[in-house]
Amino acid sequence: MPMLMVLALVAGWPLIKTIAYGFTDASLIDPESANFIGLDNFTYLLQDSYWWSSVWNTVVFAVVSVSLETVLGLIIALTLHAHFPGRGGLRAAILIPWAIPTVVSAQMWNWMYNDVFGVLNHVFLLLGLIDDPVAWTASPDTALLSIIIVDVWKTTPFMALLLLAGLQMLPQECYESARIDGVHPIKVFFRITLPLLKPTLMVAIIFRLLDALRVFDLVYVMSGNNHNTMSMSVYARQQLIDFGGLGFGSAASTLIFLIIALFTIMYLSVARVGRES
Amino acid sequence: MNFKKFRRLLGKTAFCLLLLLIVGYTVFPFYWAIVSSLKSGAALFKVEFWLSDPYWENYVAVFREQPFGRNILNSLFVSVSTVVVSLALALAAAYAIGRIQFRGRMLLLFMILGVSMFPQVAVLSGMFELINALGLYNNLLALSLSYMIFTLPFTVWVLTTFMRELPKELEEAAIVDGASPLAIVWHVFMPLMGPALVTTGLLAFIAAWNEFLFALTFTLSSEMRTVPVAIALISGASAYELPWGNIMAASVIVTVPLILLVLVFQRRIVSGLTAGAVKG
Amino acid sequence: MRRMALTLLLVLFCGGVVAENASLSISCGALGVELQLCQQGVDHWSSQTGVEVNIVSTPNSSSERFALYQQILASRSSDIDILQIDVVWPGTLAPHLIDLSAYIDKDLTRQYFKTLITNNTIDDRLVAMPWFTVAGVLYYRSDLLEKYEFNPPETWRQLTSMARHIQNAEREAGSPRMQGFVFQAKGYEGLTCNALEWIDSFGGGTLVNQRGDVTIGNPRAIAALDLAASWIGDIAPQGVLNYDEEQSRGVFQSGNAVFMRNWPYAWALGNAADSPVRGQIGVVALPRGGDQGHHSGVLGGWQLAVSKYSKHPQLAANLVQYLTSYAEQKRRATVGSYNPTIPELYRDPDVLKATPFLGTLYKSFEQAVARPSRITGDQYARVSAEFYYAVHEVLAGKKSAAAALPGLQRKLERLSRGGQW
């Protein structure tokens, strides 16, 4: 317990500093000469249309990609839970996307998406799925979608592995009695597996949600500072590092914290209500 | 009878197709990474699914241009230490939060989670100050310490969730026997939590393995650098050029230890429960 | 211990150039050729002075390098004495850098490109020495131009019609992926460079003039951007809106584009042994805006600066002077084709023999136009970002140039605090 307190301090100090900077006009180049300016940063932030578009992008990104990952992760976990030859190798194969550094995989996908020499257009043209090469990452209609696809590819393994652990820890007795009663497997899944798996599912979704709402490298590498896709963290980084606005960037970070906290609390209370009923 | 057989066959085919699709989606990009890592210069811009003439020079270059072996060892040290310490702390914390009723435990859980709600870049300058104050600059321990701010919330939450699900009778028997909390955690929960521990450990390991921003900022000399930073340093003759073959070769190399890790621990991922159920 | 004794001996031997057993650290390049060349230069200086020098490699990506420098400098750390900085950073980093004119003779600095020295002089302080330089240039497929009997384009309009003609003819002749022109239009600093070249070549200025007045809202700038916007989907693929340098090089080098705007680095790679377009590439200055316009290429490249928190500023300045000297730049130009910052070197027979390409580029470098980073100081990143946002919107067809630029003008004027910045 005291160890935990020390760690809380270690983690707490930077956080408190960030929140405090949010109320000043500090610059990164000279943090010492900062003046307290109250809520000015926040009022300016709330009027910035770029900020709001980045919030919107992030929320869309997080909701869509986390839902897709949950469904896919569940399917994969159930598959790997079943007995079949070679599932050990498959389990390792599944994990690969999660193991490649994000910056590299984002760049790799970017090249695969290229409209002239990219492999995806090549494959889709061969399969007859599209007639002309598509500029996946450039067109505003598909830019966010192509980033979501990469995120789903990258983080589904996280979901799958965590859910697999949850499945492994479920008590076998329920399944045996269900099998004896001859209940249909799909019914078993919805009546037994899903309710029992719920706590694991919840915690997995929370962490994916937290990560997705803070998404940074993926968006930054794949489309730079483009307002069609800019996420909250990209916005905060641009203000904080590129523009050197330590105060303003910290205020944006604090607001991100508040938005994420709100999301988490909302999600947890909805999930809890569902659990009690 | 025939109809039933047909349906079974259909189900099996569907299952196999599903597997194939999933494997394709996850593995194809990795296959593409390997293919790219074996291409030289201009061949990278051509679409070729099979290589007639693999170009191994990229792999050699990765090790020639920087102490990449040393960087892998650094990453291993940082990730292993981070994971071991956070699992130990998290197990204790999970026992306290999940098993012992005390006031403010929900608040504590939320505070732990709160750390994961800030963008990493916002925490950077405060963390940098702290590392300097502790005299840990350009030291691998700085990374182990700072990585805990994201591995701990995760491990604590997941282990707490799993801990709550375990039946109460287990520890009650142990308490009757007069076992200490530490003994309970060690002898009763550890075996049962096998899959959970291994999985969270693995996921935390990968998170620490891939971290870039802190690793770049808190270390300076090339002997102290971790793998993601080493990859970011790879460059061609000019800053504009991205020597893609070398970068892919390095990325393929660094996934190998992770795959080995999964293969070694994968028995553990599945076996925990059966062992525990017998005891229960 | 033995190493220390050796250093001490060397110091004594050198007759007390150095009073104490000092060591420096320099950040130059990431890895590969760049680091190797720097290492050789540094070693040479080291052996002459007996001062130990550590090389710190920093990430290849300049935005990551910038973030790292900001962090280290803001904490007033003496961990890095000499920093390799981008041509647009002096304005922002100046408060943390020493004035090199106190250590380096005026007669010496006069030998360098004037644009670079001006760019690196902030409030009468010379904060960095130019090390190597680049400028935007136009690449073309010499074989295709010959086939259709064209000369390299003089104006952007000529480029547009040539590109369209060749692209369509080649597509019909069986290369369906042929593109007319590729450049960099992703939302990042590279787009600022590209767009400034178009606008400046039309005589539309460089966003902010020398006095600090915002000049972007003018008819010539609008004409330039209107022309550029017409390229997308016509002679340029739609994907160009997310291209950086390497993606455009990928298209050009795989033989899928007639023209490309890029930095000089693409020359060596395009002519590498395994390149499909080897020996079929030409390079010229970027086209003029019109008959009354001029050639314009944006200035890039890297400078060496000394941190204010260095414990040995004199030694560090000495090393900077050595690394940027005529002899050392000559070595770098002949061995690694790094473009020198001293005009005299472009007439040096040894350099021209090693890289004949440099002679053709001299005009582009001499006339290269600097981004307004000096006058806008630490606001530059914001100015540049607002600029490329606006340009990206125009290129993507969301707004016309006539509608976007006046808005940008007002935004930048608000940032400029009446030209004071």
pLDDT for the residue numbered B273:
41
- Residue in A28, A143, A223 closest to C70 by CB: A28
Is C421 domain-assigned?
no
Which residues does A contribute to its contact with C (CB < 8 Å)? 27-31, 110-111, 114-117, 133, 135-140, 143, 222-227, 238, 241-244
- Residue in C256, C382, C392 closest to A117 by CB: C256
pLDDT for the residue numbered C15:
39
Number of domains forming the structure of chain C: 2
Domain membership of residue C178 as a residue range: 137-298+372-416
Interface of A with B in 56-85 (CB under 8 A): 72, 75-76, 79
pLDDT for the residue numbered A17:
85
Q: Kindly state the average pLDDT of the residues C314-324.
A: 93
Shared domain check, C145 and C294: yes
pLDDT at residue C357 above 80? no
Partners of residue C79 in chain B, C-beta under 8 Å: 137-138, 220
Tell me which chain C residue has its CA closest to the CA of residue A28. Answer: C74
Compare B272 and C88 and report the one with higher pLDDT.
C88
Tell me which chain A residue has its CA closest to the CA of residue B28. Answer: A97
Shared domain check, C308 and C185: no
Q: Would you give the distance in Å from CA A75 to the centre of its chain?
A: 19
CB contact under 8 A, A135 and C92: no
- Residue in B132, B220, B235 closest to C34 by CB: B235
- Taking the CA of residue B177 and the nearest CA in chain A, the distance in Å comes to 25
pLDDT for the residue numbered C9:
41
pLDDT for the residue numbered C106:
86
pTM above 0.80, yes or no: yes
**Confidence grade of residue C235 (pLDDT, cut at 50, 70, 90):** very high
Tokens at A91, concatenated: 């389990």
Quote the mean pLDDT of chain C. 88
pLDDT for the residue numbered B278:
33
Partners of residue A118 in chain B, C-beta under 8 Å: 47
**Confidence grade of residue A3 (pLDDT, cut at 50, 70, 90):** low
Shared domain check, C310 and C290: no
Question: Most A CBs within 10 Å: which of C171, C242, C391, as the mutation test of the A interface?
Answer: C242
A44-88 pLDDT, tens per residue? 889 888 999 999 999 999 999 999 999 989 888 888 877 766 677
Shared domain check, C172 and C76: no
Shared domain check, C195 and C102: no
- Percent pLDDT > 90 in chain A is 15
Give C122's strand partners. C125
Interface of A with B in 4-33 (CB under 8 A): 4, 7-8, 10-11, 13-18, 28, 31
Tell me which chain C residue has its CA closest to the CA of residue B236. Answer: C32
Domain ranges of chain A: 42-103+141-276
Shared domain check, C344 and C386: no
Domain ranges of chain B: 2-37, 57-279
Q: Is A157's Cβ below 8 Å from some Cβ in B?
A: yes
pLDDT for the residue numbered A245:
85
Looking at CATH, the fold of the domain delimited by B57-279 is given as MetI-like fold (1.10.3720)
CB contact under 8 A, C254 and B42: yes
Rounded CA separation A214/A77 (Å): 25
Partners of residue B200 in chain A, C-beta under 8 Å: 162, 165
- Residue in A115, A224, A226 closest to C237 by CB: A115
**Confidence grade of residue C44 (pLDDT, cut at 50, 70, 90):** very high
Q: Are C267 and C357 in contact (CB under 8 A)?
A: yes
Compare C155 and B181 and report the one with higher pLDDT.
C155
- Taking the CA of residue C252 and the nearest CA in chain A, the distance in Å comes to 10
- Residue in C63, C74, C256 closest to A28 by CB: C74
A144-194 pLDDT, tens per residue? 999 999 999 999 888 988 888 888 777 777 777 777 777 777 777 787 788
- Residue in A31, A143, A222 closest to C74 by CB: A31
Shared domain check, C263 and C168: yes
Partners of residue C243 in chain A, C-beta under 8 Å: 138
Partners of residue C32 in chain B, C-beta under 8 Å: 65, 234-237, 243
- Residue in C63, C186, C254 closest to A117 by CB: C254
- Taking the CA of residue A115 and the nearest CA in chain C, the distance in Å comes to 6
Residues with Cβ within 8 Å of A259's Cβ and at least 6 positions away in sequence, in order, are A55, A213, A232
CB contact under 8 A, B44 and C32: no
Tell me which chain B residue has its CA closest to the CA of residue A237. Answer: B121
Rounded CA separation B208/B144 (Å): 8
Compare A186 and C195 and report the one with higher pLDDT.
C195
Partners of residue C392 in chain A, C-beta under 8 Å: 226
CB contact under 8 A, A242 and C66: yes
pLDDT for the residue numbered B118:
82
Hey, how many other C-beta atoms are within 10 angstroms of the C-beta on C95? 16
pLDDT at residue C89 above 90? yes
pLDDT for the residue numbered C176:
86
CB contact under 8 A, B234 and C265: no
CB contact under 8 A, B242 and C60: yes
A189-218 pLDDT, tens per residue? 787 788 888 888 888 898 898 889 988 888
Q: Kindly state the average pLDDT of the residues C196-213.
A: 92
Tell me which chain C residue has its CA closest to the CA of residue A225. Answer: C187
CB contact under 8 A, A4 and B89: yes
| H, E, C per residue of chain C | CHHHHHHHHHHHHCCCCCCCCCEEEEECCCCHHHHHHHHHHHHHHHHHHCCEEEEECCCCCHHHHHHHHHHHHHCCCCCCCEEEEECCCHHHHHHHECCHHHCCCHHHHCCCCHHHHHHHEECCEECCEEEEEEECEEEEEHHHHHHCCCCCCCEHHHHHHHHHHHHHHHHHCCCCCCEEEECCCCCCHHHHHHHHHHHHHCCCCCCECCCCCECCCCHHHHHHHHHHHHHECCCECHHHHHCCHHHHHHHHHCCCEEEEEECCHHHHHHCCCCCCCCCCEEEECCCECCCCCCCCCEEEEEEEEEECCCCCHHHHHHHHHHHCCHHHHHHHHHHHCCCCCCHHHHHCHHHHHHCCHHHHHHHHHHCCECCCHHHHHHHHHHHHHHHHHHHHHHHCCCCCHHHHHHHHHHHHHHHHCCCCC
Partners of residue B220 in chain C, C-beta under 8 Å: 56, 79-80
Interface of A with B in 245-264 (CB under 8 A): 246, 249-250, 253-254, 256-257, 260-261, 264
- Taking the CA of residue A269 and the nearest CA in chain B, the distance in Å comes to 13
C106-132 pLDDT, tens per residue? 888 899 999 899 999 998 999 999 999
Tell me which chain A residue has its CA closest to the CA of residue C185. Answer: A138
pLDDT for the residue numbered C18:
44
Question: Most A CBs within 10 Å: which of B47, B107, B143, as the mutation test of the A interface?
Answer: B47
Shared domain check, C219 and C162: yes
Question: Most C CBs within 10 Å: which of B238, B241, B246, B247, as the mutation test of the C interface?
Answer: B238
**Confidence grade of residue C77 (pLDDT, cut at 50, 70, 90):** confident
Quote the mean pLDDT of chain A. 83
> Does the interface ipTM go beyond 0.95?
no
Partners of residue C253 in chain A, C-beta under 8 Å: none
Question: Most B CBs within 10 Å: which of A5, A15, A158, as the mutation test of the B interface?
Answer: A15
Tokens at C222, concatenated: 């609008």
DSSP letter for each residue of B50-90 = S-SS--THHHHHHHHHS-HHHHHHHHHHHHHHHHHHHHHHH
Tell me which chain A residue has its CA closest to the CA of residue C88. Answer: A242
**Confidence grade of residue C392 (pLDDT, cut at 50, 70, 90):** very high
Q: Kindly state the average pLDDT of the residues C332-357.
A: 87
Shared domain check, C404 and C290: yes
Rounded CA separation C155/C318 (Å): 45
Q: What is the pLDDT along chain B (280 residues), one digit of tens a residue?
A: 577 777 778 877 887 787 787 777 878 888 888 888 888 777 777 777 777 778 888 888 888 878 888 999 999 999 999 999 999 888 888 887 777 766 777 777 777 787 778 888 888 888 888 888 888 888 899 999 889 888 888 898 888 888 877 777 777 777 777 777 777 777 777 777 777 888 889 889 988 988 888 888 888 888 888 988 888 888 777 778 888 888 888 888 888 888 788 777 776 665 544 433 333 3
Lowest mean pLDDT among A141-145, B262-266, C32-36: B262-266
Q: Is A101's Cβ below 8 Å from some Cβ in B?
A: yes
- Taking the CA of residue C321 and the nearest CA in chain B, the distance in Å comes to 22
Highest mean pLDDT among A101-105, A233-237, C360-364: A233-237
Partners of residue C85 in chain B, C-beta under 8 Å: none
pLDDT at residue A254 above 70? yes
Shared domain check, C237 and C345: no
CB contact under 8 A, C68 and B42: no
Is C180 domain-assigned?
yes
Partners of residue A14 in chain B, C-beta under 8 Å: 123-127, 129-130
CB contact under 8 A, A138 and C385: no
The CATH number of domain A42-103+141-276 is 1.10.3720.10: yes
